[in-house]
Amino acid sequence: MSRRSWVLFAAVSVLWGIPYLLIKVAIAELPSAWVVFARVALAAALLLPLAWHRRLLHPLAGRLGWLLGLALVQVSLPFLLITVGEQYVSSGLAGLLIATQPTFIGLLAARTDPAERLTPVRAAGLGIGLAGVVLLLGPTLDGDARQLLGAALVLSAAFSYAVGSVLVKRRFSDVPPLGLTAGTLGVSTLLLAPLALADPPGVPPSPVAAGSLVVLGVACTAVAFLAYFSLIGTSGPGRASLVTYVNPVVAAALGAAVLAEPVTQAMLAGSALVLAGSWLAARRPAPGPLPARTPQEHAPARRG
């Protein structure tokens, strides 16, 4: 990947490593659907006027059907699934399960996009990265039905993200990231509004919960989606999805800094595997040898 792609990769990895903690804080006081709606609506309110002023929404005019589908699979549905799922599983486990997204993308894109084929090196990188995630967080499911439900919801969100990533490259690769982000979030706000109105919060949120919503909307949604769509455009959905391998590293660092959780040797080793796996999986295949020229190609052209 290019230097710009690595900068985008690092930014999205951090911004999408934070939400698991913030969602836990917000849903302790607010209904899940309302948390998702507030997060998306705030991001849309920030980006739609800017995109409109720059006339970046015009390329979406003939693709409203595809935009509706993207809003559903890339924002509305996975945000809801993760937020509801975190009622039953830890934020760390949610990050682990979302790390399956590159695998889903590999299965989807390998059949539709030759540029995203799963080479041996990339396959090894995906395996190493997933092993690092498992080592970092460890298995936490104990067979409890509620945990299994939460895990299934988060896994479904990972698959939904994979579908959305492939859709962005196939149908929206020529749309400026700001216009695509704003349009997607605007449509998602409309989709989520009925759910939020059906289950409004009973009391105003505390400053901590309100602050979590603001950070979720501004940094983890508006800014992060801009960077992510740009990353897909420069590196493809498969490599862009590798941010899901770094998210658990960010979550572990936050746990140590904010919650005073211990940093174990397993965490350090898992982080190293995650980063190494991401680097390998992001490598492009080496160019093959040039085809040999035939004797006719070596001969000078005849003049008539």
Identify the helix (H) or strand (E) that includes residue 70. Answer: helix 64-71
Average pLDDT rounded to a whole number, residues 116-136: 76
Residue 22: pLDDT above 80?
yes
Percentage of residues in the chain with pLDDT exceeding 70? 80
Segment of 27-41, 155-169, 222-236, 277-291 carrying the highest mean pLDDT: 27-41
**pLDDT exceeds cutoff 50 at 294:** no
What does the pLDDT read at residue 215? 94
Tens digit of each residue's pLDDT (9 = 90 or more) over 197-236: 998 998 889 999 999 999 999 999 888 888 887 888 777 7
pLDDT value at residue 110: 61
In the structure encoding, which two tokens stand for residue 247, read together?
A: 């998210």
Global pTM value: 0.77
Helix, strand, coil percentages (3-state) for the chain, rounded to 5, are 75, 0, 25
> What mean pLDDT, rounded, does the chain reach?
81
Give CA–CA dist 184/76, Å, rounded.
Answer: 9
Residue 6 has a pLDDT of: 87
Q: What is the pLDDT of residue 209?
A: 92
Looking at residue 96, its amino acid is: L
**Cα dihedral value 26, 68, 180, 160, nearest 10:** 60
Other beta carbons within 10 angstroms of residue 193's beta carbon come to 14
Phi, psi of 160 (to 5 degrees): -65, -45
Average pLDDT over residues 69-76: 95
Tokens representing 81 are: 């699934």
Arithmetic mean of pLDDT, 63-68:
94
Range of lowest pLDDT (36-50, 57-71, 230-244, 256-270):
256-270
Tell which wins on pLDDT, 175 or 252: 175
Of 13-17, 145-149, 187-191, 289-293, minimum mean pLDDT range: 289-293
Q: How far apart are CA 296 and CA 271, in angstroms?
A: 55
- 3-class SS at 154? helix
Q: Which helix (H) or strand (E) element contains residue 129?
A: helix 120-137
Interatomic CA distance for residues 282 and 277, integer angstroms: 9
Give residue 19's pLDDT. Answer: 87
Query: Quick check: 300 pLDDT over 50?
Result: no
Note whether 195 and 37 are within 8 A (CB).
yes
Using DSSP's 3-state secondary structure scheme, residue 81 falls into helix
107-116 residue pLDDT tens: 676 666 666 6
